[in-house]
Amino acid sequence: MGLSRDAIAHRVATGRLHPVARGVYAVGRPELSREGAWTAAVLSCGPHAVLSQRHAAALWGIQDRPAPPIEITVPLHVRRHRPEVTVFRRSLPLTDWTHQRGIRVTTVQRTLLDLAQILSRRELEAAINAADKHDLIDPERLRQALGAYRGRRGVANLRTVLDRRTFVLTDSELERLFLPLTRRCGLPHPETGRRVNGFKVDFFWPNLGLVVETDGLRYHRTPAQQARDRLRDQAHAAAGLTPLRFTYEQVRYEPRYVQSTLAAVAKRLGH
């Protein structure tokens, strides 16, 4: 902004600027928001640095709040050492970074590729689902984008998770726990999030006439919600469908019971 060293020192002395990192100052007050801390970390690592890995995922809203230190990617020729930052040195094409909320950050597809190297399959599925839910990228576009990263680390993991035969979009961790149980029963892939009899259902097998709802602790605990759930089940039964409902505790801690119940019902329905 054209300030001399003396002008900056004067503003620091009078409390108008507060040093955060070498060459980076907070204006007006020393406390930083989460976005402010990310911005400061990126600025402190140079003009070509970008927020990356888990912290990029948090900025995009596809992962929970990550623990420090902040993760930053810089070009191969850049040398930076910051105590509050983990620095990754690698080549990053212009197409792999953008701005979000004014912060330089890896693109959604590059962020997911980075996450594929460090997350479990379940965590990676959750991140992909969150990206789709926020309309950042859908699984098909992500599959297509992987062509530009052929041979890079993380691509194989992403391709495995995005396999068309096994990947189904879901809205919650509970549903992601439930899907493997259906596969073990030999059931075909269900339709998810479809409206049936005026209600949005979790899982639907139209050929079997089977509707399955998975009740999480957060969304199915009020009397009003419980009454609505009964109306849903009754509407499906009146239409000739078979409604099934499993709780979080059953899916999480009694998977064999859930699996055996699904298998028995599917057998009765002719599967």
Rounded distance, CA 157 to CA 175, Å?
21
Residues 179 and 152 in one domain: no
Whole-number pLDDT of residue 217: 54
Q: Are residues 123 and 180 in the same domain?
A: no
Residues 178 and 69 in one domain: no
Residue 63 maps to a domain: yes
Number of domains in the chain: 3
User: Does 168 map to a domain?
Assistant: no
CB atoms within 10 A of CB 70: 25
Do 137 and 21 share a structural domain?
A: no
pLDDT tens, position by position, 141-165: 898 899 899 888 899 999 998 887 6
d(Cα 64, Cα 57) in Å, to the nearest integer?
8
Residues 175-228 have pLDDT tens digits of: 888 999 999 999 999 998 889 999 989 999 999 999 999 876 544 456 777 788
| Residue 141 to residue 128: CA distance in whole angstroms | 11
Coil, strand, or helix at residue 6? helix
Rounded-to-10 torsion of CA 188, 190, 191, 194: 150
pLDDT in tens, 82-121: 778 999 999 899 999 999 999 999 999 999 999 999 999 8
List pLDDT tens digits, range 25-58.
999 899 999 999 999 999 999 899 999 999 999 9
pLDDT the model gives residue 219: 43
CA distance 194 to 179: 16
* Predicted structure pTM score: 0.72
The verdict on 107 and 61 lying in the same domain is yes
**Angle (nearest 5°) at CA 54 between 155 and 63:** 95
pLDDT of residue 222: 64
Could you tell me which residues come within 8 angstroms of residue 86 by beta carbon, excluding any fewer than 6 positions away? Answer: 69, 70, 71, 72
Q: How far is CA 15 from CA 8, 11, 48, 56, 109, in A?
A: 11, 6, 29, 31, 41
- Any idea what the CATH number is for the domain that residue 236 is in? 3.40.960.10
- Assess whether 85 and 180 both reside in one domain: no
Domain residue limits at 74:
32-161
Q: Are residues 247 and 213 in the same domain?
A: yes
Does any domain span residue 76? yes
155 & 46 share domain? yes
- Whether 139 and 209 share a structural domain: no
Q: Are residues 42 and 100 in the same domain?
A: yes
What stretch of H or E contains 231?
A: helix 223-238
* HSE, side-chain direction, 13 A CA sphere, residue 159: 12
